Amino acid sequence: MSQLSPAGRLAATFLLIILAAAAAISAQQVPQVPGPHDPQASGCQNDIDALWRSCKQFVQKDGPEQPPSEGCCKTLKATDADAPCICDYLSSPDAKDKLSMEKVFYVTKHCGITIPKGCGLKQVA
């Protein structure tokens, strides 16, 4: 094997540093729930994921308004629906892109869940 010149060693070292930094950045988890609440510690992200799996068809922007399934209501009741991080999610750009807030309010009302005043994109009277 040939040895690298000092400039070649510097370039190789620089390349390794760049690759290590890129690997560290790509390995970081980007939280999906904005705000001061830690979704990983609180389990809120798991609640949001469970709600999305169970209730997606009833709250997504596309499609007609329809009564939620029993499974959706069960999941909604099992999650801490008044958790601050869920309210943070409802206020997030991700929720704005994916959800119909009118359908969210319809589903929660149908399931007997009260959304706290000020939670999400609208004020609840």
CATH of the domain at 82: 1.10.110
Instruction: Report pTM.
Output: 0.60
Q: Is residue 103 part of a domain?
A: yes
Look at residue 10 in the predicted model and tell me its pLDDT: 44
Residue 118 Ramachandran class (φ > 0 left, ψ -120 to 50 alpha, else beta): left
Domain that holds residue 25: 1-30
Burial class (CB in 10 A: 0-12, 13-18, 19+), 68: buried
Look at residue 73 in the predicted model and tell me its pLDDT: 94
Q: Is residue 54 part of a domain?
A: yes
Instruction: Based on the fold, state whether residues 97 and 68 are members of the same structural domain.
Output: yes
Q: Three-state SS for 97? A: helix
Residue in this structure with the two tokens 């760049």, named with its chain if needed: 18
Question: Over its length of 125 residues, how does the chain's per-residue pLDDT go in tens digits?
Answer: 456 455 544 444 443 444 333 333 333 333 344 444 454 445 778 888 888 999 999 999 998 999 999 999 999 888 755 567 778 888 888 888 999 989 999 999 999 988 777 777 544 44
Look at residue 84 in the predicted model and tell me its pLDDT: 74
Rounded Cα distance, 116 and 34, in Å:
18
Instruction: Based on the fold, state whether residues 25 and 45 are members of the same structural domain.
Output: no
Q: Is residue 98 part of a domain?
A: yes
Instruction: Based on the fold, state whether residues 78 and 44 are members of the same structural domain.
Output: yes
Q: Is residue 115 part of a domain?
A: no
Query: Do the beta carbons of residue 40 and residue 23 sit within 8 Å?
Result: no
- Number of domain units in the chain: 2
Q: Is residue 10 part of a domain?
A: yes
Query: Do the beta carbons of residue 68 and residue 107 sit within 8 Å?
Result: yes
Instruction: Based on the fold, state whether residues 106 and 54 are members of the same structural domain.
Output: yes
Rounded Cα distance, 54 and 46, in Å:
12
Instruction: Based on the fold, state whether residues 51 and 11 are members of the same structural domain.
Output: no
